[in-house]
A and B are shown apart, each in its own frame.
Chain A
């Protein structure tokens, strides 16, 4: 656990970057520092590994005041990832990753093996090991940066806007990768970002800072969105705070209806008796084929002959936001819940999805 106790940082010139910060960062979780530019996120982060020393107060790492630890020794036990990756241009990828093991004087072969293992862990082709940083894309460099921080298996990882210099698609995949890694490694991670979406996606806990270095609120993402502490936090979360909440709830909970599912071999006469404006036609394996409008069914025959409108599905593991998206996309206003094999298990309307939020 990392504990900030009454920590203040005043720079020469008088800027108070961090003001009387009390904060606990629990072990094994991702704690995100988020807030507008200049609110003291980086300063707070860098005080943990003594890149900056506080003016007042102290920081404990598992009960030990970091000020009592020799900085290089402290830092070798804490992974550190920065925005531009900061890879050493003159060293091959494998040697970049093995930096801290080298500093700790590990056996050369062991350090190398560990580096190769890590490249794989962060989803990089081990074939890149012999390349130099300039031969890698920005996203690949950032992965190497993460691998390098993890090389000596430090329990704590500090990440300062590590993904903000890459394009949105790469950023998403790096975020997913970090979550996957974290589910395996359970590190104590402090992650700095000014992107609230990133904070909500990654954070087990989110610390919102305001300019002047004050902590505005610390809470889990769901609480933060549902119950912002003050106007500043509400403003910072933005207008679409409600929509964002949808991404935190999985769709597995929503109540589905299944009386509008119909097998394609069903006779249209029978179908007309159903009390639903739209019917979802299923093939013989229960996979959806499309929506048929009950009022426009052919005079005779089976449902297989009905004109169909495309459907939009979601998985049980998707977020409520994904389900709502599917419902909004469909002209029927209904989203189709699918099981792992693509079989329809039921449908849900926009109204029911939104109603469920407050239920």
Chain B
């Protein structure tokens, strides 16, 4: 507890390029970018595979395989491939981390849209894309958001690896603290990451209220 208080009470930690606000921004930048890229890959693939039922096995198996990749190992690999100084070493592993939960949940959500519902939609003259976007996706929205949320929380927690390859973010406090034996910095950094992850979680819960129809949530207001 003292470590944390020391860390937070230190005015140097609150300003400048090495201050908490700047590090939080960097952290969110990597995380946000990684999540965005992952969503751009996983949402369309998950929707398409879920709706058509084609390629389901491949998609799910490769998503699960991606889950098993050791993130740190991937970071090192990408550094070896691309060299230091780019953001690729952070982004690629983070995207690899975020794709599986988004893809699998989107796939499950769209696939699970009630058959009667799709039958009614087709029977009324909706085209394939209309059935997908006007019926299946809205109905799958809770699961899709759950996937996004899981991915976001994991990405935020894992984006600390950026510090290993000389990039910013909250990982800096942890790593620099370890190196200089300044444990208040390490603990402070870790707590900040946890708080940020919780905040992201909260943001998604709020988004849920906006993006999921009350009719799907099963409660109005």
Binding site for B on A (CB under 8 A): 49, 51, 71-77, 80, 82-92, 99-100, 103, 131-135, 145, 148-149, 158
C-alpha spacing A74/B123, complex, angstroms: 10
Q: In the complex, which residues of chain A have a beta carbon less than 8 angstroms from the beta carbon of B25?
A: none
CB distance from B131 to the nearest CB of A (A): 10
**Is A135 within 8 A of B220, CB to CB?**
yes
Q: Which of B120, B126, B139, B216 contacts A82 (CB 8 A)?
A: B120
| B134-155 Cβ-contact flags toward A at 8 Å (1 or 0) | 1100110100000000000000
Of A73, A84, A132, which one neighbours B220 at CB under 8 angstroms?
Answer: A132
Are B213 and A80 within 8 A (Cβ)?
Answer: no
Assess A73 versus B116: contact at CB under 8 Å? Given A88-B135, A90-B139, A135-B220: no
> Do A84 and B116 contact each other (CB < 8 Å), given the known contacts A89-B216, A90-B138, A135-B220?
yes
Q: How many whole Å from B125's CB to the nearest CB in chain A?
A: 3
21 inter-chain pairs at a CB distance below 8 angstroms, sorted by A residue, are A51-B119, A71-B125, A72-B125, A77-B125, A80-B120, A83-B116, A84-B116, A87-B120, A88-B117, A88-B134, A89-B139, A90-B139, A90-B141, A91-B213, A91-B215, A103-B124, A103-B130, A131-B220, A135-B220, A145-B120, A149-B124
Structural contact, A75 and B138, CB atoms closer than 8 A = no
With a cutoff of 8 Å between Cβ atoms, the chain A residues found around residue B121 in the complex are 86, 88
What is the interface residue range for chain B against chain A? 20 to 34
Contact A75/B215 with A86-B116, A90-B138, A135-B220 known, Cβ cut-off 8 Å: no
Which listed residue, A103, A132, A158, touches B125 by the CB 8 Å rule?
A103
CA distance A131 to B123 in the complex (A): 23
Q: A86-B119, A89-B139 are in contact. Are A75 and B124 (CB under 8 A)?
A: yes
Other A-B contacts than A88-B134, A103-B124, A103-B125, 15 sampled, CB-CB below 8 A, are A72-B126, A72-B127, A75-B123, A82-B119, A82-B120, A86-B120, A86-B121, A88-B117, A88-B139, A88-B215, A89-B117, A89-B216, A91-B215, A132-B214, A158-B123
* Residue from A51, A88, A133, A135 within 8 A of B123 (CB atoms): A51
Query: Residues of A contacting B116 with CB < 8 Å?
Result: 82-84, 86
Tell whether A73 pairs with B216 under 8 Å between CB atoms, given A86-B116, A86-B120, A88-B135. no
Q: How far is the CB of A100 from chain B (nearest CB, A)?
A: 5
Given the complex of chains A and B, what is the CA–CA distance between A86 and B134 in angstroms? 14
Contact A92 to B125, CB < 8 A, known contacts A80-B120, A84-B116: no
Closest to B130 in A: A103
| Cα(A145)–Cα(B117), bound, Å | 12
- Residues of chain B within 8 A (CB-CB) of A83 are 116
Interface centre among A51, A89, A91, A135, by most B CB within 10 Å? A89
Partner of A133 from B125, B135, B215 at Cβ < 8 Å = B215
Is B215 within 8 A of A103, CB to CB? no
Query: Which 6 pairs of residues, A with B, have the shortest CB-CB distance?
Result: A86-B120, A132-B215, A76-B125, A90-B213, A75-B125, A80-B123
List chain B residues, Cβ under 8 A from A74. 125
Q: Are B124 and A99 in contact (CB under 8 A)?
A: yes
* In contact, A75 and B122 (Cβ under 8 angstroms): yes
B75 to chain A, nearest CB (A): 40
Is A73 within 8 A of B125, CB to CB?
yes
Residues of A within 8 A of B220 (CB): 131-132, 135
CB of B218 closer than 8 Å to a CB of A: yes
Interchain CA distance A88-B135 in the complex, whole Å: 7
Chain A CB within 10 Å, residue with most, of B119, B134, B214, B215? B215
A76 touches B124 (CB 8 A): yes
Contacts of A131 in B (CB 8 A): 220
The smallest beta-carbon distance between A12 and chain B, in angstroms, is 15
Q: How far is the CA of A72 from the CA of B218 in the complex (A)?
A: 30
- Per the bound structure, the CA–CA distance linking A183 and B138 in Å amounts to 38
**Hey, which chain A residues are within 8 Å of B124, CB to CB?**
75-76, 80, 99-100, 103, 148-149
Interface digits, B179-221 against A, CB 8 Å rule (1 contact, 0 not)?
0000000000000000000000000000000000111101010
Q: A126 to B180, alpha carbons, bound, how many Å?
A: 71
B 15-52 to A, binary, CB cutoff 8 A, 1 in contact else 0: 00000000000000000000000000000000000000
Q: Please, how many angstroms separate the alpha-carbon atoms of A193 and B156 in the complex? A: 56
If A91-B213, A103-B130 touch, does A82 touch B123 (CB 8 Å cutoff)? yes
Closest B residue to A79 by CB, please name it: B124
Contacts of B122 in A (CB 8 A): 51, 75
With a cutoff of 8 Å between Cβ atoms, the chain A residues found around residue B134 in the complex are: 88
Complex Cα spacing A75 to B131, Å: 14
